[in-house]
């Protein structure tokens, strides 16, 4: 298997986002500027982390790159999103469908929402394999089992025959990984892929994701509020706050020489991690006010 078949030319980043702004309706007359002028690049084979507190715009950025924003005419997206060099802002739905079929796989926090409850798991993985690959039924079935196994599921034949509700949370998340990698995508966007799982299962699923992405040479955009999760798995980190990127750089540099006070606050909360984990959403109100002023000044 080789993800390089989907790879763009060397000098064109796989994903290049510039000045991205996303405004979403929140009520009949209200809206929120969920993302404000975000610049972000993901190169071929690169692992990029996006961290930041709840509501900072991580998921909306990830969804914009996968063309999965809400479809309401009141949603306004501007700036530039290039995938493999192709401008996708205002691209027709069919163009986005193709990107998601062949280039970008997504893994979400809540697998049940994205799995079809009435379809056996094996069929759902099979449907994700592009039609022009794995010719006959037998070859497809073998491929399905291979992807399930690669996603860390033992007894793939047995798992393939089950419905999503017959699996544990960790197994469902692995099924989503299998569905994502079955496309042999150039990029996997994993949005809080393990947040809903307990700590031990979380570690195991992350390890599988790490190994699978490495094996396939796929780029990874790992979105998490948990800097500790992102630190161990990425080459570069983007720190988001209030719909903006407030800091980005090589993972080591962001961890050891953070420039922005918000990053320092995130790091402090990671450093005080206990075994049960600490909620990074709990930034003290005084610091939150300071950060808000700082971000406002910077813009």
Ligand X SMILES: Nc1ncnc2c1ncn2[C@@H]1O[C@H](COP(=O)(O)OP(=O)(O)OP(=O)(O)O)[C@@H](O)[C@H]1O
3-state DSSP call for residue 21? Answer: strand
| Residue 32 touches which of ligand X, Mg ion, none (Cβ within 5-8 Å per kind) | ligand X
267 binds, among ligand X, Mg ion, none (CB under 5 to 8 A by kind): none
Stretch that binds ligand X, among 5-13, 26-34, 98-106, 169-177 (CB under 6 A): 26-34
Looking at the Cβ atoms of 124 and 202, the one nearer to ligand X is 202
CA distances (Å), origin 274, targets 78, 196, 279: 41, 18, 10
Q: Which is nearer to Mg ion, 3 or 180 (CB)?
A: 180
User: Contact region for Mg ion (CB under 5 A) — 52-60, 121-129, 251-259, 281-289?
Assistant: 52-60
| Phi, psi angle pair for 131, to nearest 5° | -60, -30
- Residue range at the interface with Mg ion (CB under 5 A); choices 41-49, 55-63, 177-185, 290-298: 55-63
Minimum distance from residue 183 beta carbon to Mg ion (Å): 22
- Residue 60 interacts with ligand X (CB under 6 A)? yes
- What are the structure tokens assigned to 93, written together? 């739905």
Tokens of 94: 């069919």
Length of the chain: 299
Cβ distance to ligand X smaller for residue 8 or 243 = 243
- In Å, how far are 135, 149, 212 from 293, measured between CA atoms? 58, 49, 41
* Distances 94 to 73, 90, 91, 292 between C-alpha atoms, Å: 17, 11, 8, 39
The CB-of-160 to ligand X minimum distance in angstroms stands at 31
One of 8, 57, 193, 242 touching ligand X (CB under 6 A) = 57
- Token readout for 294 is 């700082």
- Count CA atoms closer than 13 A to 253's CA, side-chain side: 11
DSSP one-letter code for 10: T
The reply to whether 59 sits near Mg ion by the rule CB under 5 A is yes
CA–CA separation, 5 vs 52, rounded Å? 33
When CB distances are held under 5 to 8 angstroms depending on the partner's kind, the choice from Mg ion, ligand X, none that residue 54 binds is ligand X
> With contact defined as beta carbons under 8 Å apart, do 262 and 247 qualify?
yes
Compute how many other C-beta atoms are within 10 angstroms of the C-beta atom of residue 52: 27
HSE (CB half, 13 Å, CA atoms) of 111?
Answer: 26
Least distance to Mg ion, CB of residue 33, Å: 16
CB of 121 to Mg ion, least distance (A): 25
- Per-residue interface string for the shown chain with ligand X, residues 34-53, x marking contact by CB under 6 A: x-----------------x-
Question: How far is 193 from 209, CA to CA, in rounded Å?
Answer: 9
Tell me the closest approach of the beta carbon of residue 223 to Mg ion, in angstroms: 6
For ligand X, the binding residues in 188-247 under the rule CB under 6 A are 225
Residue 128 in contact with Mg ion, rule: CB under 5 A: no
Q: Using CB under 5 A, which residues numbered 137 to 176 contact Mg ion?
A: none
Q: Are the C-beta atoms of residues 151 and 159 closer than 8 Å to each other?
A: no
* Closer residue to Mg ion in complex, CB, 16/59: 59
- State whether residue 55 is helix, strand or coil: coil
Which of 59, 128, 150, 194 is close enough to bind ligand X by CB under 6 A?
59
Q: Which residues bind Mg ion (CB under 5 A)?
A: 59
Q: Which residues bind ligand X (CB under 6 A)?
A: 24, 26, 32, 34, 52, 54-60, 70, 225
């Amino acid at each position: 298997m080789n993800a390089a078949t989907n790879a763009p030319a060397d000098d064109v980043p796989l994903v290049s986002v510039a000045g991205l702004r996303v405004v979403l309706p929140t009520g009949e007359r209200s809206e929120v500027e969920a993302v404000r002028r975000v610049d972000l690049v993901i190169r071929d084979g690169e692992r990029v982390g996006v961290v930041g507190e709840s509501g900072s715009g991580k998921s909306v950025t990830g969804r914009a790159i996968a063309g999965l924003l809400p479809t309401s005419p009141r949603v306004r997206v501007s700036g530039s999103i290039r995938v493999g060099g192709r401008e996708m802002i205002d691209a027709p739905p069919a163009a986005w469908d193709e990107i998601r079929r062949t280039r970008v796989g997504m893994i979400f926090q809540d697998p049940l929402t994205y799995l079809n409850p009435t379809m056996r798991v094996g069929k759902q993985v099979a449907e994700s394999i592009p039609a022009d690959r794995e010719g006959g039924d037998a070859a497809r079935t073998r491929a399905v089992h291979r992807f399930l196994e690669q996603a860390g599921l033992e007894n793939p034949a047995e798992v393939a025959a089950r419905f999503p509700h017959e699996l544990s949370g960790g197994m469902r998340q692995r099924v989503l990984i299998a569905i994502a990698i079955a496309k042999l995508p150039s990029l996997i966007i994993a949005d809080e892929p393990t947040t809903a799982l307990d700590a031990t299962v979380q570690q195991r699923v992350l390890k599988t994701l790490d190994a699978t992405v490495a094996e396939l040479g796929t780029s990874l955009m790992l979105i998490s509020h948990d800097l500790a999760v992102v630190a161990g798995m990425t080459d570069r980190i983007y720190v988001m706050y209030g719909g903006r990127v407030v800091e980005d750089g090589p993972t080591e540099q962001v961890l050891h020489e953070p420039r922005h006070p918000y990053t320092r606050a995130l790091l402090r909360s990671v450093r005080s991690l206990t075994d049960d984990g600490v909620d990074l959403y709990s930034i003290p109100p005084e610091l939150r006010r300071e950060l808000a002023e700082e971000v406002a000044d910077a813009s």
